[in-house]
């Protein structure tokens, strides 16, 4: 879901020219956005790594002139996806799975040499002399265009309700309360809206939609957020660092998330990396802020391996070897999450009229399983991230006492934060993942109950099937009963079709149960392809069942109009009957062709499945 995906080439070029004029360089091949910036000497605790020049520059390391909307769209252009996608199954998902990842680099010239460092290596953890871990950032902006559209639709619904008089006035109050708020996609409070003169304030209570968000734009002042424990006013976060995760539920009733912010020391500018920061600030030294979209967590580790020796941190290299299997599992689970998001979208967009009404319950069951699966995936990803963070802290505890100049009280504080804080976050994350698995196991029982209900219906329809067959056999020798036999045969064809659909629904539900088993057994990736084939066959078969039932309805209508045509007592109906028969016959031919094509597709899917067994 990339920005500009549907734009024509001239419009893209115009946008790129506009971005270039603003100083933004988009490199789609390298998945990089490069923005001119300059250094800042923070006068307060650092809570932002970089921000717009009108933002909180007293607590940041870099500032830039590019406006937030331009930067937002540039990041979309290199493939960053809004948090809406990573929050598809719960408002807590993004804070658990961390969405699309960004490596933030700073490039500048100093003493005639070009230097480049990851953002974290410009910082140290407290007064320890320990360079912050390279953990990457997450793209934390929601889909502002979708939000603006929701605002417009809600406002329109409110206006329509207001026009309905006294009853409409009550409805208007309900609609007004339902106006959407800016999604709480980040762990930090959104901007306050108490400054009525600030056009860029986020409308947390948008009773009257206004400002850039209501226009589908990002505010001018944006920031790249680090841990922020004492923020007085927040601006719009385009990127967040894991150290800004502060736990809790983003909205009431949403699953809780884990915190890292409270278990890390406040960052300070590293005198190792930036020994001449004051001179860089006085000289207005220009720097380039590089946003590099990462394809995987493993790629981030590769960058960490590359930079560590350059900055005297070779002792971290063995740690990265132990973290690689964890990173690979994170990448695998994120791919499964996105696959679930795609399937949720397909279910939402599915034309349900292609299926029998009885099948809707199975589609709803699949949607519910995908929701639960997404929450489980996010919980497991969170557990893996925090296990990585704990291992990083444990390495730091080994090395910190050996760093010359590290304040002993800061080292002790780091130890307490790790052993009495972060360690518990990891244990709680593990329990939360197990709770999601327990919820999945409970939902499996729901699917089993639905399966038993299906089996009950199959038994009843089989009994009805045998009853009709017996009646047909008993009447088939009586010419006077031919009309009744024809009707019974139509009923039998319907029951045969319904039984076939019940068999397919049972196969569909079996795939749901097996998917839950694969999740609980830790083999969801290994079973994914087989289960996808099972569902595809069932879905195609269920579409075919609906078409066959439609054909039976058509044949019944054709029979009734033929009866009208053959009845001499009502000649006035003959012309209408001929016209309808022509229409229905043409419609039947089209439907028959669709059935034949559907049967071929079903045979193809079954053949592929058999070949892969």
Q: Which helix (H) or strand (E) holds 527?
A: helix 524-566
Indicate whether 503 belongs to any domain.
Answer: yes
pLDDT for the residue numbered 196? 38
For residues 220, 221, 223, 228, the Cα torsion angle rounded to the nearest 10 degrees is -150
Greatest mean pLDDT among 10-14, 31-35, 496-500 lies in: 31-35
Is the pLDDT reported for residue 232 higher than 80? no
pLDDT band of residue 43 (cuts 50, 70, 90) is confident
Name all contacts of 324-328 with Cβ < 8 Å and 24+ positions apart: 324/298, 326/384, 326/387, 326/388, 327/296, 327/297, 327/298, 327/300, 327/301, 327/388, 328/297, 328/298
Separation between Cα atoms, residue 73 and residue 5, nearest integer Å: 12
Percent of the chain with pLDDT over 90: 69
Could you tell me which of 289, 310, 307, 283 has the C-alpha nearest to residue 111?
A: 283
pLDDT, tens digit, 9 for 90 and up, residues 472-525: 999 988 888 888 998 899 899 999 999 999 999 999 999 999 999 998 888 888
pLDDT, tens digit, 9 for 90 and up, residues 60-106: 999 999 999 999 999 999 999 999 999 999 999 999 999 999 999 99
Could you tell me which of 139, 101, 104, 83 has the C-alpha nearest to residue 34?
A: 104
Separation between Cα atoms, residue 280 and residue 38, nearest integer Å: 8
Q: 48: which strand partners?
A: 225
pLDDT averaged over the chain? 87
| Inter-helix orientation angle 408-417/360-399, to 10° | 150
Indicate whether 534 belongs to any domain.
Answer: yes
pLDDT band of residue 234 (cuts 50, 70, 90) is low
CB 496 within 8 A of CB 466: no
Is the pLDDT reported for residue 107 higher than 70? yes
DSSP 92: T
- List Cα–Cα distances, 249 to 186, 305, 431, 440, in angstroms: 11, 34, 16, 21
Is the pLDDT reported for residue 230 higher than 60? no
Report the length, in residues, of the chain: 613
Q: 103: which strand partners?
A: 292
CB 393 within 8 A of CB 346: no
Sign of CA dihedral 323, 385, 332, 437: positive
CB 223 within 8 A of CB 237: yes
pLDDT band of residue 206 (cuts 50, 70, 90) is very low
Q: What is the mean pLDDT of residues 5-19?
A: 53
- For residue 246, which phi and psi values (nearest 5 degrees)? -125, 20
Is the pLDDT reported for residue 228 higher than 80? no
Q: What is the mean pLDDT of residues 200-227?
A: 70
- List Cα–Cα distances, 235 to 48, 127, 225, 240, 412, in angstroms: 10, 28, 9, 12, 34
pLDDT, tens digit, 9 for 90 and up, residues 181-191: 556 544 433 43
> Could you list the residue range(s) of the whole structural domain that residue 589 is in?
446-612
Separation between Cα atoms, residue 423 and residue 440, nearest integer Å: 26
Tokens at 496, concatenated: 């045969």
Find tokens 């990089």 and name the residue: 32
Indicate whether 454 belongs to any domain.
Answer: yes
pLDDT for the residue numbered 152? 84
pLDDT for the residue numbered 7? 44
User: What are the residue ranges of helices labelled H in 58-181?
Assistant: 68-77, 83-86, 93-97, 144-162, 165-177
Separation between Cα atoms, residue 606 and residue 585, nearest integer Å: 31
Could you tell me which of 40, 33, 34, 36 has the C-alpha nearest to residue 62?
A: 40
Could you tell me which of 71, 138, 529 has the C-alpha nearest to residue 336?
A: 529
Measured over all CA atoms, what is the biggest interatomic distance in the chain, rounded to whole angstroms?
A: 110
- For residue 207, which phi and psi values (nearest 5 degrees)? -60, -35
Which phi-psi region, left, alpha or beta, contains residue 128 (left: φ > 0; alpha: ψ -120 to 50)? alpha
Tokens at 229, concatenated: 């424990």
Q: What is the mean pLDDT of residues 278-283?
A: 92
Is the pLDDT reported for residue 57 higher than 70? yes
Q: 87 in helix, strand or coil?
A: coil
Is the pLDDT reported for residue 24 higher than 50? yes
pLDDT for the residue numbered 561? 86
Separation between Cα atoms, residue 97 and residue 330, nearest integer Å: 9
Residues 6+ apart with CB under 8 A from 207: 176, 179
Q: What is the mean pLDDT of residues 527-544?
A: 92
- List Cα–Cα distances, 512 to 72, 156, 508, 538, in angstroms: 39, 40, 7, 12
pLDDT, tens digit, 9 for 90 and up, residues 328-354: 999 999 999 999 999 999 999 999 999
pLDDT, tens digit, 9 for 90 and up, residues 366-423: 999 999 999 999 999 999 999 999 999 999 999 999 998 888 999 999 999 999 999 9
pLDDT for the residue numbered 174? 42
Indicate whether 469 belongs to any domain.
Answer: yes
Is the pLDDT reported for residue 44 higher than 90? no
pLDDT, tens digit, 9 for 90 and up, residues 298-325: 999 999 999 999 999 999 999 999 999 9
- For residue 412, which phi and psi values (nearest 5 degrees)? -65, -40
Q: What is the mean pLDDT of residues 20-36?
A: 89
Is the pLDDT reported for residue 471 higher than 50? yes
Separation between Cα atoms, residue 239 and residue 224, nearest integer Å: 5
Tokens at 508, concatenated: 């569909």
Percent of the chain with pLDDT over 70: 87
Q: How many CB atoms lie within 10 A of CB 346?
A: 9
Q: Beta strand pairing status for 25-27 and 32-39?
A: antiparallel
Indicate whether 223 belongs to any domain.
Answer: no
Tokens at 29, concatenated: 């091949």
Is the pLDDT reported for residue 447 higher than 50? yes
Indicate whether 473 belongs to any domain.
Answer: yes
Indicate whether 601 belongs to any domain.
Answer: yes
Q: What is the mean pLDDT of residues 246-262?
A: 91
Separation between Cα atoms, residue 412 and residue 601, nearest integer Å: 67
- For residue 107, which phi and psi values (nearest 5 degrees)? -120, 130
Is the pLDDT reported for residue 207 higher than 80? no
Find tokens 């062709």 and name the residue: 593
Tokens at 445, concatenated: 């029982």
* Of residues 296 and 16, more confidently modeled: 296
pLDDT for the residue numbered 4? 31
Q: 123: which strand partners?
A: 269
3 state SS for 457-522:
HHHHHHHHHHHHHHHHHHHCCCHHHHHHHHHHHHHHHHHHHHHHHHHHHHHHHHHHHHHHHHHHCC
Separation between Cα atoms, residue 191 and residue 204, nearest integer Å: 8
Separation between Cα atoms, residue 508 and residue 114, nearest integer Å: 60
DSSP 198: -
CB 330 within 8 A of CB 380: no
Q: How many domains does the chain have?
A: 1
Separation between Cα atoms, residue 402 and residue 48, nearest integer Å: 29
Indicate whether 593 belongs to any domain.
Answer: yes
Q: How many CB atoms lie within 10 A of CB 595?
A: 16
């Amino acid at each position: 879901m990339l920005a500009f995906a549907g734009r024509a080439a001239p419009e893209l070029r115009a946008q790129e020219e506009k971005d270039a004029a603003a100083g933004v360089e988009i490199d789609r091949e390298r998945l990089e956005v490069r923005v001119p910036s300059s250094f800042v000497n923070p006068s307060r605790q650092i809570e932002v790594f970089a921000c717009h020049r009108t933002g909180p520059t007293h607590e940041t390391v870099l500032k830039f002139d590019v406006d937030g909307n331009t930067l937002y769209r540039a990041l979309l252009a290199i493939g960053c996806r809004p948090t809406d996608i990573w929050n598809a199954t719960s408002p807590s998902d993004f804070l658990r799975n961390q969405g699309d990842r960004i490596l933030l680099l700073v490039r500048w010239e100093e003493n005639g040499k070009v230097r480049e460092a990851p953002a974290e290596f410009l910082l140290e953890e407290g007064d320890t002399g320990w360079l912050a871990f390279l953990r990457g950032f997450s793209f934390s902006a929601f889909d502002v265009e979708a939000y603006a559209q929701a605002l417009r639709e809600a406002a329109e619904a409110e206006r329509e309700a207001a026009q309905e008089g006294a009853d409409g006035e009550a409805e208007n109050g309900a609609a007004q309360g339902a106006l959407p708020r800016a999604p709480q996609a980040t762990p930090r409070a959104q901007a306050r809206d108490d400054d009525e003169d600030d056009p860029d304030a986020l409308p947390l209570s948008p009773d009257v939609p206004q400002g850039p968000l209501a226009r589908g734009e990002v505010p001018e002042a944006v920031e790249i957020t680090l841990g922020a424990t004492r923020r007085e006013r927040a601006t719009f976060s385009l990127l967040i660092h894991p150290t800004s995760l502060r736990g809790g539920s983003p909205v009431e009733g949403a699953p809780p998330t884990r915190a890292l912010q409270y278990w890390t020391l406040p960052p300070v500018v590293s005198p190792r990396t930036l020994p001449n920061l004051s001179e860089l600030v006085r000289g207005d030294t220009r720097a380039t802020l590089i946003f590099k979209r990462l394809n995987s967590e493993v790629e981030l580790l590769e960058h960490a391996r590359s930079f560590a020796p350059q900055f005297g941190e070779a002792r971290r290299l063995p740690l990265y070897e132990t973290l690689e299997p964890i990173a690979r599992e994170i990448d695998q689970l994120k791919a499964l999450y996105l696959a679930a998001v795609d399937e949720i979208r397909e279910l939402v967009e599915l034309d349900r009229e292609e299926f029998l009404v009885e099948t809707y319950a199975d589609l709803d069951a699949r949607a519910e399983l995908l929701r639960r699966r997404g929450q489980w995936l996010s919980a497991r990803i969170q557990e893996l991230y925090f296990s990585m963070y704990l291992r990083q802290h444990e390495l730091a505890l080994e090395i910190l006492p050996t760093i010359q100049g590290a304040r002993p009280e800061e080292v002790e504080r780091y130890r307490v934060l790790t052993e009495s804080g972060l360690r518990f976050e990891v244990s709680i994350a593990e329990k939360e993942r197990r709770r999601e698995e327990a919820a999945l196991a409970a939902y499996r029982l729901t699917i089993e109950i639905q399966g038993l209900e299906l089996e009950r219906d199959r038994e009843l329809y089989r009994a009805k099937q045998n009853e009709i067959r017996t009646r047909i056999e008993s009447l088939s020798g009586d010419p006077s009963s031919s009309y009744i036999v024809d009707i019974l045969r139509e009923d039998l064809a319907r029951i045969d079709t319904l039984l076939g659909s019940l068999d397919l629904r049972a196969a569909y539900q079996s795939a749901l149960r097996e998917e839950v088993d694969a999740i609980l057994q830790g083999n969801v990736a290994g079973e994914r392809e087989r289960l996808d084939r099972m569902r595809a066959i069932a879905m195609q078969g269920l579409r075919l069942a609906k078409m066959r039932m439609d054909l039976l309805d058509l044949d019944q209508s054709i029979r009734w109009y033929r009866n009208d045509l053959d009845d001499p007592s009502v000649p006035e109906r003959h012309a209408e009957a001929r016209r309808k028969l022509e229409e229905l016959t043409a419609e039947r031919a089209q439907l028959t062709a669709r059935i034949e094509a559907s049967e071929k597709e079903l045979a193809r899917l079954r053949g592929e499945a058999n070949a892969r067994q």
